[in-house]
Chains A and B, each alone.
Chain A
Amino acid sequence: DAKTTQPNSMESNEEEPVHLPCNHSTISGTDYIHWYRQLPSQGPEYVIHGLTSNVNNRMASLAIAEDRKSSTLILHRATLRDAAVYYCILRSTTSGTYKYIFGTGTRLKVLA
């Protein structure tokens, strides 16, 4: 299974943009890149996903490198409620299974 690598932690000031990187150098052509975040004592919450093209939604943007070996989650204006562990996930579609392969995640701290 392909793996993801993320920094253990990052800090950001409130109201500033945040760029959360993820490396996935062994990604296969059919693996989707998903981002979830997890607040303390809660289940993961969907943020965004993509395959090859950059994606935007109301929560964030996802920039995917041309070779797909890395991606960046962009929070345009961090708020205190964005403090969470952010997981970059590859969704494997081989052999008819759609399991998520979680990385270790980046703990984002937002400073007021």
Chain B
Amino acid sequence: NAGVMQNPRHLVRRRGQEARLRCSPMKGHSHVYWYRQLPEEGLKFMVYLQKENIIDESGMPKERFSAEFPKEGPSILRIQQVVRGDSAAYFCASSEQGAGNEQFFGPGTRLTVL
């Protein structure tokens, strides 16, 4: 039973380019969460999605960031026109349901903006 998969594991982009981070939840999980971790800091919630729906995007920056979780395929976190401050580790987690179920985290994507 594969865990949460994220790819790529490492991503290097130049300022102004787009970054696409993918997350495949555990089998049977329909809830996906994205978190961002800056160096030496804890994880910060970004967005919570169910299939085809954004449930809570209170942690998403207002511009350049978007997320989706289509009916088929992985969840995508998209960052347009990246800046150096976007350099961080981005973690995806999934859960079977919302309440009462722990979240299982993927290994993360480490984004470096040059």
Q: Which residues of A contact B (CB under 8 A)?
A: 34, 36, 41-46, 49, 87, 93, 95-105
Contacts and interface: CB of A to CB of B under 8 A. Distances in A.
Interface residues of B, number: 26
A98 B41 CA distance: 21
Contacts, number: 63
A103 B43 CA distance: 8
A100 B4 CA distance: 17
A101 B48 contact: no
Given A44-B91, A93-B99, A100 B108 contact: no
A65 to B, nearest CB: 22
Nearest to B40: A104
5 contacts: A36-B105, A93-B99, A96-B56, A96-B98, A100-B35
Given A44-B43, A87-B42, A99 B48 contact: yes
